[in-house]
Structure 1
Amino acid sequence: MSVCSSRTSHVALMRNSIANRNSFIETAVKIKENIVKSALNELFNEGNGKAYEDLVRTLRARPLNDGNAVIVLNDCSLCVGAMGREAKLLVEVLFTLNWNTMSEKVIELFSKWVLDLLTAQIYHAPMAIGSLLKVLAKSDEMWIGSPSLRQAMMYSHVHNLIAQIVSVIPMSTEVLVRSAIDNFPYHKCNPCINQAYTHNLLWITRYIPTLTDDLLTLILNRLIIIDVNIRNNSDSVNNDIFDIEVEDKTDDLIESLDLCMTEVFQWMDQNGPEILDLLFSVFQRVILPTYGTRNVQFIMLYGLSKDVRRVPDFLEILWQLVPSARVGPGPRQASIAHLAGLLARAAYINTQSIKIYIKKMTEWCHSYIKAQEMPSSHNGKNPHSVFYSVCQYIFYLVAFKHKELFSDKNGLIFVVSLNLPKIVMCSLNPLRMCHEGIAEAFASITRIHQIVYCHALMEQNLRRHLRAEEESLEHQEWFPYDPYVLPKSSKWILPIYKEYEETVNDVTLKSVEMCGEEDDFLATSPNPHLSKSSFNSLRHIN
């Protein structure tokens, strides 16, 4: 016998075996009427648990067909009063039934049994709701826009049941939130699963709007975990020659984040600008305290575009944290980073708003410099870290928005009024703590317009090795609204995103010819965390 024919015969045997097994499942097991009632009676009235154990073992071992499921569920509905803690194993195994893929009769009976059970035996609520949420994480397909009709119908049955549970037992919403947290998929699992669970948690907010804050907070917390892990894995790829496995894991994380961001953007479109207050709150609690994310914060950039009248409100929220002595340096530096990033990158923010906040920043810096002339004590390893961050983002905005700021004589007068030379030349020497690419861009722009001459000081800093230690530059080297690179969800961002535009006489960015199509504002950066080239590992994703 040839190898080919032998292999064919083995395949045929396997197929016959599978067919016989399926046939056995359908025909060999016939559930008797009142089997559940009989088993529970023997367990509780006679103290004999054999029939109960056999029933549980049978239900675990063999999937039920529609006919058997109808018999079991009809019987269970008559026995909910006896299904307390002692019947935990039976209840748990019934929740493993693939009820939402079966006939309408099974779906109806299962839903009725669950509602009757939880009304009579609230003890089972955490397990029941947790089991339903696990079903919402099941997915064998990836989608853009919405799941297939088949998948959507499977989810719809579960959502209908959850809605009925909450209607009958209002306090179950607390259990629902705890279960949503406990059952959130691991961030490294299949991207389809992360997408499905995110999609379905957002679906829950449609019929239980009181949970919107809790569920959105949960989702963004988990997306931040994925986002930060992408950054960490990308750093590992840059530093590890054996990076194939790490790169594969990073690809899955990127796919997960991209699909989940798509779900969030679609949800925002469905809800409109009325969710902005909620977004403001979640941003402050979840996104703002997290350093180093690359993508999740774009939810706020997109959200503000839904109602630009609210932009000043949000910018002021960010600014109020910067001079506040009631919060630590980290949140203040994060606030100025987000503020400057939005001013630079959000296409819907006008030049007047940019000028207002550059003015506020420079006024605060002048006040800070003046305060240093008086005797005072500074605690901490880097007592001037907030000052250096604010200075850097002033330099960043002047360089990035130079076309708008120097578009006419009034713009030039405005920039002169900022008294930038006093900030640049002060004893704190902010240029030495500034990111090198920004310092070079700012120095070239201000030299062209004869605002301040920085190159001599920068060369002096270089000769004297007056460069900050790496750890003190942590918040100086993060630009939260650098180009968005997630391909599927980028269609929500690109129309409202401002790319850097050089002028004919612009000598600030000498890498234009080298970088081609890249947004090259920080392309000359020696630090891979800042340059857009740090995202090269993401570009092969379609």
Structure 2
Amino acid sequence: MGVELATERPGFYEMADIDVSDSELVYHVRDALKSVSQGDSDRYNQLIAVMHYTGRLAPDEVAMLVTSLKALSGSISYIDIIHHESLLSSIFGMSMWNYGPDVMDALVELIISLAASNGKFVDSCLDMLVRNFMPPKSYLDLLGHPRGLARKHEVLDRVHSALSHIADLVPLAPMRLTPIILQRMPHMFDKEALIVIYVESMLLLESSALGELVGSTMLMALVDRLIDLDVEISWDDIIHEDSGKGIFDMELEDVDDIIDHAEIDGFEHPRGTAGSQILGTNAVADKLDSLMVLICEHLKSCADGERLTKVFETLLQSFWVTVLNAYKSKFSQFVMFYACSLDPEHCGERFAVFLADIFVCRTHPALTRMSAVAYLASYLSRGKFLPLSLIASTLKRLVDWCLEYCHVQNGEEKTINLEAHRVFYSGCQAIMYVLCFRMRSMMDSHRLKSQLLHMPLEPIFCHQLDPLKVCLPSIVEEFLRQAKAAHLFTVSETFLFNNLLESDLSKAFGGMERLDMFFPFDPCLLKKCDRFIRPSFVYWSMVKTTYDDGEDCSSEEDINEYFDGNGKSYMESGITRSLDEHDLDLDEFEYQLNKMSITPRNSLKNGLIFKLENPFRMPARIRPSTSPESL
């Protein structure tokens, strides 16, 4: 193929109005490259000028650029990293998004040839391709149009094909590619479209042949970015205080608040509920939401391709390193929840065992163990996909550990040191929380009912460490209410409801100084990724309790057992007692718990509004969401 060279632009070759063959142009380019070292840079500068063609190119300009790029591919051995620095800089600075298919193909061919010819060019070639993951910022608005989407596919298909070719030709290329990708990741405050398109390429790499070498790093880096975004979302942006609702009541939505419903994937999705009302205008949350959608879609494709098990191990490692102890993580953890829902038999059980192992292992730091059991309790309670047998067996592990702890602590401890026993209390609270959600289902199974009735719950909850006086009052109340209806305890109900909850310790710790643990899988507020989570999620309104059949505390006699003469629950009325009556290091205990708790505290230093009229109530962190029909 020949090309006619013209002089319509300054800087064109000084061979006007003549036809030259491809081989002749190769020789001309080689002469231009060699002339630099001889002090003659005119033809070299003209070659550089061709590399700067952008915008709407005329057909002859496109032909010149394509032919020049191909000629350079045939002259690789003449390119010197020092003498031709300006030319290389121009080539590596080209954006494929500015050109048509012919120019893109010629440019990719040149980049591959450069990378394969000399190890000194590899990093620059990889960096150039990675930068082409993203379009020029002026191009972002076009991505929402068919023409823009077509160009996106044209560019990224070539970029990833080039990366694959270079990896085949240069075995060390994948190792050098990874730090470049991590370094080039957009900042979390960049435009959402840039972040999303870059993450799409990272996930494409994970699922490609290169994924064997770089896939785990890509996933772990993405989880890190989720956490970066997550912690930027303030609870001030989320919490809508309602001091009249407890930890379970806060999920029961007033139907009148529902603005609109849309049928998505076969179930009702309330657009007017918590996520859209609270986080709809939060830019950081929108970015996090979009990235979680991408990762969930990727995990679904992994499951369809029967490679989720391997990917899950990377996610589990990333969870251990990044998420588990993240300060006030709010939504990132739902990536794990969704992955488990895709493969309950393997991933679902693996996650439960993993968390339980951390909790029972005494070598882990206390806060790590407390966080693990909080995750475990929330996971076992919320995972609709989890078999009851797994929930029961995991619950037994927690009960056995707490019972053993009680046996060790059978001493003459006159004053309870909350901080010293905080892991124990977190385990007790986890047991109660899970049973609040699952007790009825277990009681409805003959086999599991027998297991539950034989669990040594009474020795734990009636132990001198008094977990019922320390754990979250709203959880204790619901647990005891269900335990009473299920006849779970042999001690008198009066002892449980009056003597325990009315004690001085209950009055001191039943409210403000409670074990303020968090439950990471409380309903997710992000709008777009909700469609992945909702079908596998247990909302409180779906739960049938043991007192649903009339065996509850709704009678006048039962209500009197629950409340004092002033109409307040014993836990609520007890918090007004002075904490000075007890020689306990409460400030330090509160500080340690706050380090890992996402539940707002009664403290001005947290900048949260929390009315003290009912301080035993959990703040309504969410507007309650509509749930599917009760089980």
The TM-score range, normalised by the shorter chain, is 0.7 to 0.9
Q: For residues 361-390 of structure 1, what are the alpha-carbon distances to aligned partners after superposition, in whole Å with 9 as ceiling and x for unaligned?
A: 1111010011123699xxx99332221111
| Partner amino acid, structure 1, of 2:158 | H
Query: CA, structure 1 residues 51+267, in 2 after alignment: closer, same or farther (shift >3 Å)?
Result: same
Match of 1:266 in 2: 297
Cα 1:136–1:457 change in 2 (3 A) is: same
Q: CA deviation at 1:179?
A: 0.9
> Corresponding residue for 1:209?
211
Question: Which stretch shifts more, 319-328 or 49-58?
Answer: 49-58
Answer whether contact 2:360 2:401 (CA < 8 A) is retained: yes
Deviations 1:211-269 (A, max 9, x none): 2212111111111211222246737999xxxxxxxx99972222212221121122122
Match of 2:171 in 1: 170
- TM-fit CA distance, 1:77: 2.4
- Aligned partner of 1:534: which letter? R
State the Cα distance separating 1:110 from its structure 2 match: 0.9
Q: SS at 1:451's partner residue?
A: coil
In the other structure, the counterpart of 1:23 is none
- Structure 1 residues 209-218 or 49-58, which shifts more? 49-58
Check conservation: 1:261, 1:489, Cα contact below 8 A.
yes
SS of 1:493 mapped into structure 2: helix
Residue of 93, 97, 111 corresponding to 1:96: 93
Instruction: Check the 8 A contact 1:166/1:172 in 2, yes or no.
Output: yes
Q: Which is higher, the Rg of structure 1 or of structure 2? A: 2
Contact 2:54 2:99 in 1 (8 A): no
Segments of structure 1 that go 5 or more residues without pairing to the other structure are: 1-25, 239-246, 511-523
Residues 451-504 of structure 1: per-residue CA shift (max 9 Å, x gap): 35245423335764236987x95xx43211111222222222211111122554
State the Cα distance separating 1:401 from its structure 2 match. 1.5
Q: Are the equivalent residues in 2 in contact too, given 1:297–1:480 (CA < 8 A)?
A: yes
Where does residue 73 of structure 1 map in the other structure? 69
Q: Does 1:304 align with 2:340?
A: yes
In the TM superposition, residue 114 of structure 1 has moved relative to its aligned partner by: 0.9
Residue matched to 1:200:
201
Alignment of 1:127 with 2:124, yes or no, is yes
Give the corresponding residue for 1:477.
517
**Counting helix residues as a fraction of each chain, which structure ranks higher?**
1
How big is the alpha-carbon RMSD for the aligned residues of Structure 1 and Structure 2? 3.8
Percent of paired sites with the same residue: 19
Determine whether 1:293 maps to 2:329.
Answer: yes
Measure, in 1, the Cα distance between the counterparts of 2:326 and 2:85: 41
Do structure 1's residue 336 and structure 2's residue 339 form an aligned pair?
Answer: no
Q: Which residue of 1 aligns with 2:245?
A: none
Q: Give the counterpart of 2:621 among 534, 538, 542.
A: 534
What do the CA deviations read for 1:25-56 (whole angstroms, capped 9, x no partner)? x954463277865664343232x678767876
CA distance in 1, matches of 2:399, 2:624: 38
Cα distance change on mapping 1:170 and 1:190 into 2, 3 Å:
same
C-alpha displacement of 1:414: 3.7
- Cα 1:408–1:94 change in 2 (3 A) is closer
| Amino acid across the alignment from 2:299 | M
Counterpart in 2 of 1:41?
A: 34
* Cα distance, 1:326–1:436 mapped onto 2, change above 3 Å: same
Conserved? CA contact 2:223–2:318, under 8 Å? no
Structure 2 letter corresponding to 1:465:
A
Give the match for residue 246 of structure 2. Answer: none
SS in structure 1 opposite 2:326?
coil
- Structure 2 distance, partners of 1:248, 1:364, is 40
d(CA) in 1 for partners of 2:143 and 2:439? 43
What is the rounded CA distance, in whole Å, between the counterparts of 1:143 and 1:454 in structure 2?
Answer: 60
Alignment match, 1:20:
none
Greater RCO, CA 8 A, separation 6+: 2
CA shift for structure 1 position 169: 0.9
Q: Residue 458 of structure 1 corresponds to which residue in structure 2?
A: 501
Of stretches 441-450 and 407-416 in structure 1, the one that deviates more from structure 2 is 407-416
Three-state SS of the structure 1 residue aligned to 2:394 is: helix
Question: Where does structure 2 lack aligned partners over 5 or more consecutive residues?
Answer: 1-6, 16-24, 242-277, 490-495, 560-598, 603-607, 611-616, 627-631
Kindly provide the amino acid, as one letter, of the partner of residue 334 in structure 1.
Answer: S
* TM-score under structure 2 length normalisation: 0.67
Q: Which deviates more, 247-256 or 130-139?
A: 247-256
C-alpha distance in 1, partners of 2:202/2:8?
A: 38
Q: Does structure 1 residue 116 correspond to structure 2 residue 113? A: yes
1:47-62 matches, within 5 Å, as none
| 2:65 partner letter | A
TM-score by length of 1: 0.77
Give the Cα separation in 2 of the matches to 1:137 and 1:481: 34
Q: 2:224 aligns with which of 203, 221, 226?
A: 221
Say yes or no: does 1:359 pair with 2:356: no
Q: Which residue is 1:276 aligned to?
A: 309
- 8 A contact 2:101–2:154 mirrored in 1: no
- 8 Å Cα contact 1:39/1:52 also seen in 2: yes
Change (3 A) 1:63 1:436: same
Q: How many Å separate the matches in 2 of 1:507 and 1:483?
A: 27
Question: How much does 1:291 deviate?
Answer: 4.3
* Structure 1 residue matching 2:420: 3-state secondary structure: coil
The answer as to whether partners of 2:186 and 2:194 remain within 8 angstroms in 1 is yes
* CA distance in structure 1 between the aligned counterparts of 2:128 and 2:422, rounded to whole angstroms: 49
1:4 corresponds in structure 2 to none
Kept after mapping to 1: 8 A contact 2:36/2:83: no
The 3-state SS of whatever aligns with 2:521 is coil
Aligned residue number for residue 261 of structure 2 = none
Structure 1 residue 178, shift from structure 2 partner: 0.7
Q: Distance in 2 between matches of 1:230 and 1:371?
A: 42
Q: 1-side partners of 2:9 and 2:622: how far apart?
A: 57
Cα 1:438–1:53 change in 2 (3 A) is farther
2:460 aligns with 423
* Preserved CA contact (<8 Å) 1:233 1:250: no
Mapped partners of 1:409, 1:537: distance in 2:
33
Q: Report the Cα offset of residue 532 of structure 1.
A: 8.7
Are residues 232 and 80 of structure 1, via their aligned partners in 2, closer, same or farther at CA, if it must alter by over 3 Å? Answer: farther
- Taking structure 1 as reference, are residues 436 and 69 closer, same or farther at Cα in structure 2, changes over 3 Å only? farther
**CA shift digits 1:145-194 (9 cap, x unpaired):** xx933322221111111111111112100111111110111112222122
1:202 CA drift (Å) = 1.0
Separation in 2, partners of 1:397, 1:233: 28
Query: What corresponds to 1:442 in structure 2?
Result: 479
Partners in 2 of 1:80 and 1:491 — Cα distance?
52
Instruction: Quickly say closer, same or farther: Cα 1:410–1:282, change in 2 above 3 A.
Output: closer
Contact kept in structure 1, 2:524 and 2:530, CA below 8 Å? yes
Structure 2 CA distance, aligned partners of 1:298 and 1:120? 45
425, 434, 439: which one aligns with 1:388: 425
- CA displacement 1:264-296 (0-9 Å, x = unmatched): 122122222432243134323333343432222
Residues 395 and 442, structure 1, Cα contact 8 Å, conserved in 2: yes
**CA separation of 1:109 and 1:381: change in aligned 2, threshold 3 A:** farther
CA contact (8 A) 1:31 1:68 kept: no
- What's the secondary structure of 1:199's corresponding residue? helix
Q: Which moved more, 1:524-533 or 1:421-430?
A: 524-533
Post-superposition Cα deviations, 1:501-526, rounded to whole Å, max 9, x if no partner, equal: 25545669x9xxxxxxxxxxxxx998
- Closer/same/farther in 2, CA of residues 94 and 536 from structure 1, 3 Å limit: farther
